[in-house]
Structure 1
């Protein structure tokens, strides 16, 4: 009982602190941060790291700190201090969620979170690496959410530190280049071009990683075999509604979401974030587009059915 009371008290203090921090977030900017660090001397980097960690816990914008780190400490040390601060803050939020709020959140959220947790835990550090490289979710919220899983703490810390590096480097250098632009430093054009290049590289990461996560294509024979074996998978038919009920028919149990509507209807597939999905259309062109979109949005096991419904019908497999 005493332990429970302590946990509830700490949780209440955290909620109040987050509320206060959010209410004053408009006053949290690079100029204010620089003012805080003036006069800190050799302790400046340590103070900066602690502020960054506290900001991550209290839902303050990390982008402000990352840019400020580049402006204050340069591209090399700034990147290192930003990474340490972000990782420390992410770890603190992770531990808070795991040991203070996990039971309460479990009771309040129910089955859908349980399904998501099982998928995340199945992939382990690879999921952490993916969401650090591809910012699908807000950084501060994600730290707490991952604390509700059984992901190994050491794996979480290592994957976070390594896979946050590209984004940290790009935005730190952007902060450094901005400071140089204001000061009129030498080689300004080259520095700005390098900053832009790094940002483009980070922006391209989701597409590149999505291709790595995309599963190999499968034939209609393989799909039929999996369905006959009652494998747990989603058959996602991405044709139009007219084609879905048209002459080629559709596979029993298939979910129809036209590829043109897929990006707006991804919430309907949340339960399959870590489960097998096969996409099918008339041939396989639209299926390939759907798989690319799903892979970029974090779906871990997605496949194109080669030949689509045309090939399915050639084999005289049952349709509805």
Structure 2
């Protein structure tokens, strides 16, 4: 599959997409205005970023609790924020949601807000074009994705979502400058992130004291499973070729 023409412009967007892009830019502008203009808001956001960077699940849970009835709203906004603007570990939010709201409701909140963030990144990339996306995710990362996408096509997003060590934001932005359709991206993202979301939410509710260890163990297991799935056809081909040589 070929990459989309990077010259995608405003005139080529549908009315629906234009409204979406205007809403997105409005949200970003509003956030920057609040962040830069309000010292209290800036300190509050910075505190959340510290909890996420330090993978402090308990601290982030208490942070959400400080907002009372708005805790779920703040959690959702932080998930979208980390998807679009800040490369922060989203699993901390998912663990905290499981701990605070229970694994069922926590998983729904984490999954839905992550989907919103992914969709916004996807359309933002389509509007801004490849040159800007290269600056956002680095040219090296985007080149890696090009090779990955060329190899696995429409299945690339699904495979990447299953591997926690692959940046969620990178996949969302990079997919936006490929020929993959929105619905292919939507379903691949939704289904691909579901297993990890459910597991992280469950671990957040039941195993907070060993969160980081369990996360890394799960990451390794899933990564090995996906690598095995990817390499299986090559190994089978190698074995068949070896048997032919022996025959």
Same fold (TM over 0.5): yes
- Contact residue 98 and residue 147 of structure 1 kept, 8 A: yes
Q: Is 1:304–2:238 an aligned residue pair? A: yes
Q: 1:205 is matched with which residue? A: 222
- Contact residue 90 and residue 140 of structure 1 kept, 8 A: yes
SS at match of 1:67: helix
Give TM-score, length-normalised by structure 2.
0.63
Q: Is 1:144–2:161 an aligned residue pair? A: no
Q: Describe the shift of the 1:73–1:130 C-alpha distance in structure 2 as closer, same or farther (beyond 3 A).
A: same
Q: Is 1:63–2:82 an aligned residue pair? A: no
Structure number with the higher strand fraction is 1
Q: 2:74 is matched with which residue? A: 47
Higher relative contact order (CA 8 A, sep 6+): 2
Correspondence list, 1:155-304, <5 A: 155-178=184-207, 203-214=220-231, 216=233, 291=235, 303-304=237-238
Among 48, 59, 62, the residue aligned to 1:34: 62
Q: Alpha-carbon deviations, 1:243-266, whole Å to 9, x = none?
A: xxxxxxxxxxxxxxxxxxxxxxxx
Q: Is 1:131–2:160 an aligned residue pair? A: yes
Q: Is 1:80–2:104 an aligned residue pair? A: no
Give TM-score, length-normalised by structure 1.
0.50
Q: Describe the shift of the 1:167–1:119 C-alpha distance in structure 2 as closer, same or farther (beyond 3 A).
A: closer
CA distance in 2 between counterparts of 1:130 and 1:3 reads 31
- When the two structures are aligned, how many residues end up with a matched partner? 205
Q: Describe the shift of the 1:27–1:172 C-alpha distance in structure 2 as closer, same or farther (beyond 3 A).
A: closer
Q: Alpha-carbon deviations, 1:30-54, whole Å to 9, x = none?
A: 424533444442x432332222111
SS at match of 2:201: helix
- Contact residue 78 and residue 172 of structure 1 kept, 8 A: yes
Q: Alpha carbon RMSD of aligned pairs, Å?
A: 4.3
Q: Which has the larger radius of gyration?
A: 1
